[in-house]
Structure 1
Amino acid sequence: MAGRGGVIRHPYEHHQHWDHVVPPECHPHPDIFRLSANLHWVEAHEPLHADIDAKKVCGVGPGMSFANAVREGGVGVMGLVPCAVGGTAIKEWARGEELYETMVKRAKESVKEGGEIKCLLWYQGESDTSTEHDADAYQGNMEKLIENVREDLALPSLPIVQVAIASGDEKYLEKVREAQLRINIPNVVCVDAKGLQLKQDNLHLTTESQVKLGQMLAEVYLKHFAS
C-alpha cells in the first residue's frame, strides 16, 4: 500500500531510488489532499507515503489513482490519510501496537475540523506468508482489526476494501489469499490483485499495476459505498 512502483535498485549499487515517473492517472488535483506525517493537510502527490513509510524508498502506490478515479466518479473534495508501512505483518497492526495506534490517531485527527471517514483501504499480507502459524492466524487477526478499528473510530459500519495479495512466500501465499477472500463481514469487500504484473523482485507491483489496482479499488468503492 505504501507504494514501490518505480523504485529501482541499480545492479552495482546497494541503495534504491524512485524513478520519478508519475502516470497521468496519479497526477495531483486541487480537490485531493493528504494528511502529512505532522498532521497538516497538503495537496496530495506521489509518493503518498514518503513521510510515513520514511525508512524505505517510496514510489507510486494505488492511492492517487484511486483518488482520481473516485473524483471522476463524482465524489468532491477528498482527503487521503496514508498510514502504511511496508514489510509489516498483521500482528504489528494489533490494537495497542504503535502502527495501529498511529493509524487510529491519524484517522481521528483527519476529521477534527469536519469531514467524514468514508472508507479504509487495506493492502497487506505478504509478510504473513512465510510461516504456517502466521498464515493460519491471518483471518482471525484481520477480523479482529476490522472490529477494533470500527470500535475505536466509533464507525460500526465503516466501509473497508481489502486487497487479496498477489505475491509473497509461495509456501503459504495461497493460504493467506484464501483467508482474505473468505472474510465475510458486512461492508467489507475484497479486490483480487492476482494476475497484476510484478516487478523483477517478484514481490512488488509495477507502476502500471499500482495504477490498475487503484482503479479497481475505486470501482469497488463507487459501486458499493459511494452515496
Structure 2
Amino acid sequence: MGMASSTQMEKPQSNKHIFILSGQSNMAGRGGVTPHKHWDGVVPPECLPDPAAVLRLNAQLHWEPAHEPLHADIDTKKTCGVGPGMAFANAIKGRVGTMGLVPCAVGGTAIKEWERGTHLYENMVRRAEAAARGGGEIRALLWYQGESDTSSETDAEAYKAKMEKLIHDVRSDLQSPSLPIIQVAIASGDEKYIETVREAQKSIDIANVACVDAKGLALKEDNLHLTTEAQVQLGRMLADAYLTTFCS
C-alpha cells in the first residue's frame, strides 16, 4: 500500500470500535483450507469485506480494509482460511459503526504460551494498544483456544486458573478492568480431556466474561477445525453474545 492508502485508513480511528481476536487455529481460521494446505478462496456472503465499515490492523500495525483470511499475516506458519471474525463484524457493524479488528491468534498454541511475559501475550497487548492509540476504544476480546490443552490431564486441569489469570492480566495491562471477554467453549481436541477443558471454560465466573459453546458446529474431515459454514455460524453466535450481553 502506498502513502495515500495508509493515510486514508488513519481517518476513522477516533470513533473506531476495536475487537481483539485471539487464541489458536479455529480463531485464526481454517475454513476452506484443503488437506493439501491450500485455501479454496471461497468467501461466504456473511464474510465479504466492507472497506468503509470494517478495518483490520495488519502485522505492520497499520489499518487496512478487513478481508479473509483475516490472520494471513499473523498466523504465518500455517495456511489461514475463513474464521469467525468477518462474520462477527458484519453482523454487528450496523449497531456499532466503524469497526477495527485486531487479529492475534496463532495455531497450535497452548494457554501456557499466552501467559504474561510470553511473546504471544506481549504481542497481543502491543497490537491492542497500537489499535487504540488514535482514540478508538477496545470493546471486547474474543478468545477461542484450548484444543492444545486437551492432550494432557495436567494441562487440562490447570486450564481454568490459567484462563482466569489471563483475563485479569490482559485487563490490567490494557487498563480496562471491566473489558468484555467472550470465550468459545471448544468443539474439538483430544477426547480424553476435552470435557475437562470445556467445563473449565464454561465455569469461569468473572464479571463481563461470556461463553459461547461451539459444540455441535460442523468440523472438517480433520475432526479438529470448523468448516467455513460453521465459522459463519460461530461469528453470528459471537455477535449475538456481544449484542445481548454487552450492548443491551
> The TM-score by the shorter chain falls in which range?
over 0.9
State the partner residue of 1:129.
Answer: 150
Of 63, 67, 91, the residue aligned with 1:45 is 67
- 1:2 paired residue among 25, 28, 34: 28
SS at match of 1:70: helix
| Number of the residue aligned with 2:40 | 19
One-letter amino acid matched to 2:170: V
Give the structure-1-normalised TM-score. 0.96
**Residue type at the aligned position of 1:78:** M
Amino acid at match of 2:161: G
Sequence identity (%): 71
After superposition, what is the alpha-carbon deviation per residue over 1:14-41, rounded to whole angstroms, capped at 9, x for unaligned?
xx10000000000001200000000000
What SS is found at the alignment partner of 1:121?
A: strand
How many Å separate the matches in 2 of 1:218 and 1:66? 5
Matched, 1:167 2:188: yes
Residues 1:194 and 2:194 aligned together: no
Whole-Å separation in 2 of the counterparts to 1:165 and 1:9? 21
TM-score normalised to structure 2 length: 0.88
Per the alignment, residue 114 of structure 2 pairs with 93
Q: Which residue of 2 aligns with 1:66?
A: 88
Partner AA of 1:62 in structure 2: P
Among 124, 129, 137, the residue aligned to 1:103: 124
Could you say what secondary structure the match of 1:17 adopts?
coil
Q: What is the deviation of 1:8?
A: 0.3
Task: Quote the residue 1:57 is aligned against.
Answer: 79
1-structure distance, mates of 2:229, 2:200: 26
Aligned to 1:148: 169
Q: 2:54 aligns with which of 19, 24, 32?
A: 32
Higher helix share: 2
Letter in 2 for 1:93: W
Partner of residue 159, structure 2: 138
- Structure 2, unpaired ranges of 5+: 1-26
Following superposition, the deviation at residue 226 of structure 1 comes to 2.2
Residue in 2 aligned with 1:79?
100
Distance 2:107 2:207 in 1: 27
For 1:177, the aligned partner's letter is: R
Measure the CA separation in 1 of the matches of 2:35 and 2:216. Answer: 24
CA distance in 1, matches of 2:220, 2:76: 21
AA at the equivalent of 2:126: K
Q: Tell me the SS of whatever aligns to 2:38.
A: strand
The answer for the alignment partner of 1:221 in structure 2 is 242
How big is each residue's C-alpha offset from its partner over 1:149-204, in whole Å with a ceiling of 9 and x where there is no partner? 00000000000000000000001000000000000000000000000000000000
Give every structure 1 segment of 4 or more consecutive aligned residues whose post-TM-superposition deviation is greater than 6 Å.
none
1:203 counterpart residue number: 224
TM-superposed CA distance for 1:9, in Å, is 1.9
Residue type of the alignment partner of 2:44: P
Distance 2:160 2:232 in 1: 27
Aligned length: 221
Secondary structure at the aligned position of 1:168 is classed as: coil
